[in-house]
Structure formats: structure tokens, C-alpha cells
Amino acid sequence: MLQSNIHQQFWRYSIPSVVAMVVNGIYLIVDGMFIGQVLGASGLAAINLVWPLIFVVSGFGLMVGVGAGSLISIACGQGEQRRAQQLLSHALLMLLLLAAVICSVLAVLGISPITLQGAEAEIARMGEHYLSIMGQGSLIVLGSTALPILIRNDHSPNLATLLMILGALTNILLDYLLIVCFDWGLAGAAYATLGAQALVITLALAYFLSDLSELHFQWRGFVLQPRELVRITNLGFSSFLTALYTAFITVVHNWLFLRYGTVTETGAYAIVLYLSVIYYFIAEGFANGMQPLLSYNYGAQRYHNMLKIMQLGFSIIIGSGLLAVLLMNLFSELSVGIFNQDDPALRQATVAGIRLHLWAMPLDGLIFTSAMVYQAINKANRANLISLANMVIQLPFMLLLPTSFGVTGIWLIMPLSTALLSLPIAYGLYQLLVRLKQAASSALLQ
């Protein structure tokens, strides 16, 4: 990796990751299309009430995948192959332990996370079916999130992409069969998701047990080291906080829309989230492509390579965000029509939401990519601070805007708080770039 052109390496890691994330984004949109066309605004509202919990479960998978993946890449950059093997085994152990805890907690909570968001009987019942099925499959959700990240950090980005694409396509096929053909409703959507994710896990485990992998699970002679579990958790915690942030925002917006608006606004919010998925997944794809390269070059002290990676990555992520905002505003009514064509009120509410809620997406891309950069260079505290600040800064906006401006104020909570938070984060990122330039200059003089 050190001998290769860094721009070629950037595209080698980023393009497969972006393709995989875009395919997954398309799958989510198609999933929403099936639900919106078959179940209408109630179905969209119900699944949006469940998604926060799924975000949290996936966040634990991201925590393990990104935390262990970053440490593995740093260890490989430092030539510590044996430690990289140990980290992989610790990651799998963490997934097993987390799955047992999460499955038990969700079983105890039951339907309460849905009703606490203000859901009425019909919507709560629809959401409960989806949540109970997904809760029982917690290990599948965790593994399908973490294992492709670990494969990418094993210098196999194309294979990680192939697995994610295969999973997404399988999910779309199963969605059609179970939701449209068999009329299983949201339960069908849950079984479709778990079936596709189970396929991803099976193939990922087969990879790590094959000769294709440079890393292998080492159970013979494996020695549990709790400090490695702590390091994985600490470094990956920012990814969990990012998922928790998404869950937190969704829960609060669901509750606010049901309090100050109607089920129609809640369904519109679900559609707005579906439409924003493509940009966020493109940005996350580039961020995921940057992470192994940053970690490896940080471990190898190739700071000039890190500067090139960050310059190219941030330019693409912010630029694509500006383009996404423009396109979504130009084609807002057309894009809403793919989810539901029979409800004018839903269409009108969604178009308003697109224009009020999504204009700060490029700045949001700056924020979560900055957190990823700090994770990649083993600066866990800074990454965690960014993710926590992203939640805390929204609290005053949540208290003031809905009471003053109603539904319009709810749509504006996230973009206004994002714009405010982006200022100190951009300054901190500038300081990091200055330090990397100084380190790169010192390395050249030695």
C-alpha cells in the first residue's frame, strides 16, 4: 500500500464503498416505495417509529467494525500482523456478546419504544411486528454491519462491496415477494431484511475462513484481552454515537410531528429521510473509503499521503452535498411521487419538508466525516465529542422552534443546528491539517 499512488488507492477503496452504499441506498428507497405504495402513510409512519431502534443496533455493529477495523489497519501499517489477527477475533467475540444483550433488552422493552413516541393503536401494532422480528435477529443485523467493514480493512474493498450489493439486491427481491406477492406487510419487510443480511454474514465468515483473507479468526491459542475490547469500543464509539444521533433525531422528530402535526407529516418525514439516504450513503461511502487509508498511513507516518486523502475526500463529500440539495429542490414533486401518488396532502407536506429540512446536508457531511477522520487516527475522544455535540446542540432548537413555528419549526431544527456546529468543527479540522503539514515537512527533512 505504501508503494502505490495515493490517489489510485483512494479511488480503489472509495469507489467500491460508494457503489455498495448507493446500492444499499437504492434498496432502502425501494423498500420505502413498496411500503408507501402498499401500506400508505400509516405504513411509512410505522416503520419510521421502529427505525430508531434499528439504527441503535446497527450502531453497535458500526462501533465494532470501525473500531476494530481502524486498529487492524494501524497494526498492519506498523507491521504488527499478529495483533491484527487478535483484534479480528476480539471483534467477533464482541458481536456475539452484544447480540445476546440487545436481544434480551428488546424482548423486555416490547412495544414501549413505539408507544412512547406517540403512536396510536394501528400504527403501534404495525411497528411491533417489524420490531419483534428484527430484535430476534440482532446478531444478523450486527454481523452484516460489522463484517463488510472488517473485510475492507483486510485490503479487500471490492469483495466487501460485492457482499453489500448482493445483500441489497436480495433484499429488494425478498421485499417484492413478501410485501407485494404474499402481503405480509411490515413483517415481510423485516423477514426480507434479515434474510438478505444472513446471506451477507454467511459469505463474510466464509471469506475469513478461506485463503483469500490475510487475516483469520484465531481461536486456537486465543487469549482474551479485555483491554483490546475497551480499545475497540473506545475508538468505534463515535460511530455508535453517530447512529445514536440518527435514532435520537428520528425519535424526537416523530414525537414532535405527531404532537404538532398529524400522521401525514410523520409519513412525509419518513419520505424525506428516504430521499436523503442517497447523499448520506454516497458521503459515507467516501468516508469509509478514506478510513483504512488514513489509518494505515497514520501508522506508517506517511502524513503527506493523509493530507492528499483528506483534501480529495472532503472536496467530494461537500461538493456532492451541494449537488444533492440542488437536485432535490428541482425535482422534489417528481421524487415524492415514487412513494405515493394517491395522497395530495402527503405530497405537499413532503415537498415542504425537502425544502426546509435538507439544505444543510453538505455541512452534515463535513461533520460526520470529521468524526471519522479522528477515529481513523486513533483520536477517539475528539471523534466522540463531535458526535455528542451533534445531539446536544439540537436540544435548544427542539425546545424553541416547534412552540414558535409549529411544523415549520420542526423541519428547521436539524439544518439550523448543523450549520451552527459546523463552524467550530471546521476550525478544528483546519488545525489538524496544519499539524499534519508540519509533521509531513519534518518527515521530509529527516
Residue-wise pLDDT tens digits, 213-230? 988 776 766 788 999 999
Q: Are 197 and 32 in contact (CB under 8 A)?
A: no
C-alpha distances in angstroms, 243 versus 57, 155, 388?
9, 25, 11
**Residue 108: what pLDDT?**
93
pLDDT the model gives residue 153: 86
List per-residue pLDDT tens for the chain, 446 residues long.
544 588 888 998 888 878 877 877 777 777 778 887 888 778 888 888 898 899 899 999 999 998 999 899 889 888 888 888 889 999 999 999 999 999 999 999 988 988 888 877 788 888 888 999 999 999 999 999 999 999 988 989 889 889 988 998 999 999 999 998 999 988 999 999 999 999 999 999 999 989 889 887 767 667 889 999 999 999 888 889 888 888 888 889 989 998 998 888 988 998 898 889 889 888 988 998 898 899 889 888 899 999 999 999 999 999 999 999 999 999 888 888 888 777 888 899 999 999 999 999 999 999 999 999 998 898 888 988 998 999 899 999 999 999 999 999 999 999 999 999 999 999 999 999 999 999 888 866 55
In terms of Cα–Cα distance, which of 317, 334, 91, 341 is closest to 224? 91
CA Rg value for the chain: 21
Q: Which amino acid is at 117?
A: Q
Which are the contacts of 30, defined by CB distance < 8 A and separation ≥ 6? Answer: 172, 175
| C-alpha distances out from residue 212 to 73, 151, 179, 216, 349, Å | 17, 10, 37, 10, 50
State the pLDDT at residue 418: 96
Angstrom distance (rounded) from CA 225 to CA 227: 5
Exposed (0-12), middle (13-18) or buried (19+): which is 26, by Cβ within 10 Å?
Answer: middle
Q: Which amino acid would we find at residue 399?
A: L
